Each structure stands twice: as C-alpha cells, then as structure tokens.
C-alpha cells in the first residue's frame, strides 16, 4: 500500500493546517500538504515506518 500511495489509516482532526504545522516541527514529512477537497480537507504524511497516515477535517 505504501508504494501505491494509499494511506493505511486516517484520523479526524479539527484543523488539518494546524496539525500540519505542529507535526512539521519534529520533521514529519507530508506527502500531501493540507488540501481542500469536496466535503473535506486532507493531508497525508509518512510515519517513517513505510506507512502513510491521512488526516482529515470534515
């Protein structure tokens, strides 16, 4: 799933942009920066163990 770019899990957050800023400080690498889509805002990061994690804000 990692090579195909499919997130393994997803977490609901209040604000994807704030979480992006908070997680960048300990040098988390975001594959998808906070992006507004139809119905939600999403962001995807690499957890350093070859798993992609998605954050979403509905």
pLDDT at 54: 96
> Does 2 reside within a domain?
no
> Does 22 reside within a domain?
yes
pLDDT digits (tens, 9 = 90+) for 13-36: 999 999 999 998 888 889 999 999
pLDDT at 9: 96
Q: Worst-scoring range by mean pLDDT, 5-9, 12-16, 22-26, 49-53? A: 22-26
CATH of the domain at 21: 3.10.180.10
| Containing structural domain, residue 51 | 9-57
pLDDT at 27: 80
> Does 3 reside within a domain?
no
> Does 39 reside within a domain?
yes
Average pLDDT of the residues of the chain: 92
Q: How many domains would you assign to the chain?
A: 1
> Does 16 reside within a domain?
yes
Q: What is the pTM of this model?
A: 0.86
> Does 43 reside within a domain?
yes
Computed on alpha carbons and rounded to an integer, the radius of gyration of the chain in Å comes to 11
Phi, psi of 27 (to 5 degrees): 65, 45
């Amino acid at each position: 799933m990692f090579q195909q770019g499919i997130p393994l899990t997803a977490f609901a957050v209040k604000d994807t942009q704030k979480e992006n800023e908070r997680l960048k400080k300990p040098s988390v690498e975001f594959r998808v920066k906070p992006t507004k889509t139809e119905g939600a805002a999403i962001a995807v990061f690499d957890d350093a163990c070859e798993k992609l994690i998605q954050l979403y804000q509905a």
